[in-house]
Amino acid sequence: MACDENLSVEVRDLVKRFGTFTAVDRVSFSVRRGEIMGFLGPNGAGKSTMIRIMCGLLRPTSGSAYVAGFDVAKDPEAVRQRIGYMSQKFSLYDDLTVSENLHFFGGLYGVGRRLIEQRVAGAIATAGLSGHQNDITGTLAGGWKQRLALGCAVLHQPAIVFLDEPTSGVDPVSRRSFWDLIHQMAAEGVTIFVSTHYMDEAEYCNHLALIERGRMVASGTPSELKHHLPQGALLLAKCEPLGAALAALQFHPEVIEAAVFGNAIHLMVRDAASAIATLPEFVRSHGANISELREISPTLEDVFVDLTGTRLRRTAKEAPS
């Protein structure tokens, strides 16, 4: 059993290998009841593998993971009975109606006949699907399908819910509505795990773990992680042409690191005042111009780039890689 009854999940030195490939490399963390825990990292970083281990779907190579007080390696069935799980491609049945899908998954989760109508009605109301009970699921837009999928995953009222890339490919408005549902569940005491490679979604979490190549490179609240950059100041530079400016800036003695962010460049510099005073002329001598240069607060993406050198997605309009 987990040593602290207030913990929903406790993971210690978790390792998962597939042959010679290490998908999860000595990861440790704990999550309290009612928290929203986010796994932030690029596709292939090991986020889904960690979630599948905690759901009792994969056996760890070494280390331990307790979910709802049960050891995932020794009692995976007890874990699965107490959690909700929504995979990247949750298997709704497109030829069934909204109501039929909910009844079907309620039966799979063992919701009794006396409760099923109440639970289905609650799921429809929570997901905002009132009036759509008889709609064929295949005709729903992507955002509505995700809401229905979440409703199916929590019909048995689990204490812990795992959502693996739940909004991948969903438009930004629908994504925000989906996150409203997640926050509502957390307010009711449900512990939520969310894996994502979208920066804006990470901001909605209470706690974040930054994952790269199977390792947890940093963890904390979004605010704590944004204060991770201790070696200098962060500047935003709007330049033209962007490519020539980036090439030049990487050789300036004040610049520690330079990376393109949208139509601008983020610069980690040793001293903000010195850099602001000398960078415009330096860039001009290399055939480019700086139209705007100012100090800014770091974003989660800046932190992730600083720790790993890897860029993450910033909007759902980009297709997953």
In which region does residue 157 sit, left (phi positive, over 0), alpha (psi from -120 to 50) or beta (all else)?
left
Does 213 lie in the same domain as 69?
Answer: yes
Model confidence at 240: pLDDT above 80: yes
The structural domain count of the chain equals 2
Model confidence at 229: pLDDT above 70: no
**Domain boundary residue among 199, 225, 251?**
225
pLDDT value of residue 312: 55
Chain mean pLDDT for the chain: 88
Distance CA 301, CA 153 (A): 30
Is residue 50 situated within a structural domain?
yes
Which pLDDT band, with edges at 50, 70 and 90, does 123 fall under?
confident
Domain that holds residue 207: 7-225
Question: Three-state secondary structure along the chain?
Answer: CCCCCCEEEEEEEEEEEECCEEEEEEEEEEEECCCEEEEECCCCCCHHHHHHHHCCCCCCCEEEEEECCEECCCCHHHHHHCEEEECCCCCCCCCCEHHHHHHHHHHHCCCCHHHHHHHHHHHHHHCCCCCCCCCEHHHCCHHHHHHHHHHHHCCCCCCEEEEECCCCCCCHHHHHHHHHHHHHHHHCCCEEEEEECEHHHHCCCCEEEEEECCEEEEEECHHHHHCCCCCCEEEEEEEECHHHHHHHHCCCCCEEEEEEECCEEEEEECCHHHHHHHHHHHHHCCCCEEEEEEECCCCHHHHHHHHHCCCCECCCCCCCC
Specify the CATH number for the domain of residue 93.
Answer: 3.40.50.300
pLDDT value of residue 214: 94
137-166 per-position pLDDT tens digit = 999 888 888 889 888 988 899 999 999 888
pTM: 0.81
pLDDT value of residue 58: 95
Does 112 lie in the same domain as 190?
Answer: yes
Is residue 98 situated within a structural domain?
yes
Does 102 lie in the same domain as 207?
Answer: yes
**Domain boundary residue among 225, 247, 270?**
225
Is residue 314 situated within a structural domain?
no
32-64 per-position pLDDT tens digit = 999 999 999 888 899 999 999 999 999 999 999
Selection from 89, 72, 93 nearest residue 2 by Cα: 72
pLDDT value of residue 314: 45
pLDDT value of residue 230: 61
Is residue 307 situated within a structural domain?
no
Model confidence at 245: pLDDT above 80: yes
Specify the CATH number for the domain of residue 274.
Answer: 3.30.70.100
- Of residues 319 and 41, the one with the higher pLDDT is 41
Does 44 lie in the same domain as 190?
Answer: yes
Is residue 34 situated within a structural domain?
yes
Is residue 250 situated within a structural domain?
yes
Does 265 lie in the same domain as 156?
Answer: no
**Domain boundary residue among 175, 203, 225?**
225
pLDDT value of residue 244: 93
Does 196 lie in the same domain as 143?
Answer: yes
Model confidence at 320: pLDDT above 50: no
Does 186 lie in the same domain as 211?
Answer: yes
Neighbours of 116 (CB within 10 A): 16
Two tokens at 210?
């930054």
Is residue 155 situated within a structural domain?
yes
Does 175 lie in the same domain as 88?
Answer: yes
Does 85 lie in the same domain as 58?
Answer: yes
pLDDT value of residue 1: 44
Does 263 lie in the same domain as 186?
Answer: no
Does 255 lie in the same domain as 185?
Answer: no
